[in-house]
């Protein structure tokens, strides 16, 4: 686990045949009010939590898991984390929280073929991701957590309830799988994905002043060039409709 800046820590995903999302830890350790952003792939729960030891983080200080979205590579080990730390709350955007509470896991797997593959590979069963969501996030909220402010920006397109978290003080953006380094964007062919919505979401993110980009996969970028998200959008715009 590495410190990106004060109050923002990074545990790199360990991809297998299926990718494993990065995990970010948010909050000043002195606040004893820390948040995990995204959990990771099935089977990774214990190793993700072990990575916290490097920072000297007490598990008791982790208060919640905030999901950028609920694809399997992000939510896969949430249940393992909940089993190890039963007190943590789960915060998810309303549009993905409500289906999950009702046992609708189509967003988790994205497509039926992938679902059958994962069920056989990981022994997953229908209902494994049904859970009670403690807080349903909405666009425009500001989360005052761990001595920091994070704005919730609803950025549908890659999935219907994707959110980005934005910290204006540090100009830090955690966009989930909406935009990555190297002018890449999230796929938009899975359950309830929407290319036109993704275009609008990228437009919204392009309005933010971002210096540190912390995506769900691949490289993280400090010193992001000005206009990076607009430039990315320009490269993809003709595909997004």
State the minimum distance, in angstroms, from the CB of residue 86 to Zn ion.
Answer: 26
Rounded CA gap, 162 and 157, in Å? Answer: 8
Contacts 24+ apart (CB under 8 A), 46-54: 46/80, 46/84, 47/14, 48/11, 48/23, 48/77, 48/81, 49/81, 49/84, 49/85, 51/1, 51/11, 51/23, 52/1, 52/11, 52/25, 54/1
Binding of residue 156 to Zn ion (CB under 5 A): no
CB 76 within 8 A of CB 82: no
Site for Zn ion in 49-108 (CB under 5 A): 71, 73
Q: Is 20 in the site for Zn ion (CB under 5 A)?
A: no
Stretch in the footprint of Zn ion (CB under 5 A) among 10-18, 33-41, 213-221, 227-235: 213-221
Q: Does 38 bind Zn ion (CB under 5 A)?
A: no
* Ramachandran region, residue 233 (left: φ > 0; alpha: ψ -120 to 50; beta: rest): alpha
175, 186, 197 from 204: Cα distances, Å: 11, 15, 11
Which helix or strand (DSSP H or E) is residue 121 part of?
A: helix 112-122
In whole angstroms, give the CA distance from residue 62 to residue 146. Answer: 10
Q: Closest CB to Zn ion among 73 and 96?
A: 73
Please identify, using beta-carbon distances, which residue of 51 and 70 lies nearer to Zn ion: 70
Q: How many residues bind Zn ion (CB under 5 A)?
A: 5
Q: Does 33 bind Zn ion (CB under 5 A)?
A: no
- CA distance linking residue 69 with residue 77, whole number of Å: 13
CB of 71 to Zn ion, least distance (A): 4
- Region near Zn ion per CB under 5 A, out of 16-24, 85-93, 134-142, 204-212: 16-24
Least separation in angstroms between CB 217 and Zn ion: 6
If one asks whether residue 177 binds Zn ion (CB under 5 A), the answer comes out as yes
From the list 15-23, 35-43, 91-99, 144-152, the region that binds Zn ion by CB under 5 A is: 15-23
Question: Least CB distance from residue 6 to Zn ion, whole Å?
Answer: 26
Q: How far is the CB of 109 from Zn ion (least distance, A)?
A: 11
**Closer residue to Zn ion (CB): 63 or 69:** 69
With contacts defined by CB under 5 A, name the span among 59-67, 164-172, 209-217, 220-228 that binds Zn ion. Answer: 209-217
Sole window of 80-88, 122-130, 147-155, 175-183 interacting with Zn ion (rule: CB under 5 A): 175-183
Using DSSP's 3-state secondary structure scheme, residue 3 falls into strand
Distances (CA, A) of 66 to 2, 89, 90, 137, 232: 19, 8, 6, 9, 26
Which positions touch Zn ion (CB under 5 A)?
21, 71, 73, 177, 216
């Amino acid at each position: 686990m590495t410190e990106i800046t004060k109050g923002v820590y990074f545990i790199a995903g360990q991809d297998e045949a299926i990718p494993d999302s990065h995990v970010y830890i948010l909050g000043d350790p002195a606040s004893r009010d820390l948040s995990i952003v995204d959990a990771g792939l099935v089977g990774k729960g214990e190793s993700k939590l072990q990575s916290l030891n490097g920072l000297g983080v007490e598990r008791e200080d982790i208060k919640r898991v905030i999901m950028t979205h609920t694809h399997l590579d992000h939510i896969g080990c949430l249940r393992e984390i909940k089993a190890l730390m039963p007190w943590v709350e789960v915060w998810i955007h309303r549009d993905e929280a409500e289906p999950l509470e009702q046992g609708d896991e189509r967003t988790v797997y994205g497509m039926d073929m992938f679902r059958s593959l994962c069920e056989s590979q990981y022994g997953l069963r229908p209902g494994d991701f049904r859970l009670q969501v403690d807080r349903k996030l909405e666009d425009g909220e500001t989360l005052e957590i761990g001595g920091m402010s994070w704005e919730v920006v609803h950025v549908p397109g890659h999935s219907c309830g994707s959110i980005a978290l934005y910290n204006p003080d540090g100009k830090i953006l955690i966009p989930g799988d909406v935009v990555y380094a190297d002018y890449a964007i999230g796929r938009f062919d899975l359950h309830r994905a929407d290319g036109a919505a993704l275009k609008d979401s990228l437009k919204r993110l392009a309005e933010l002043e971002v210096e540190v980009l912390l995506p769900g996969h691949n490289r993280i970028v400090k010193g992001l060039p000005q206009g990076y998200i607009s430039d990315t959008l320009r490269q993809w715009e003709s595909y997004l409709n």
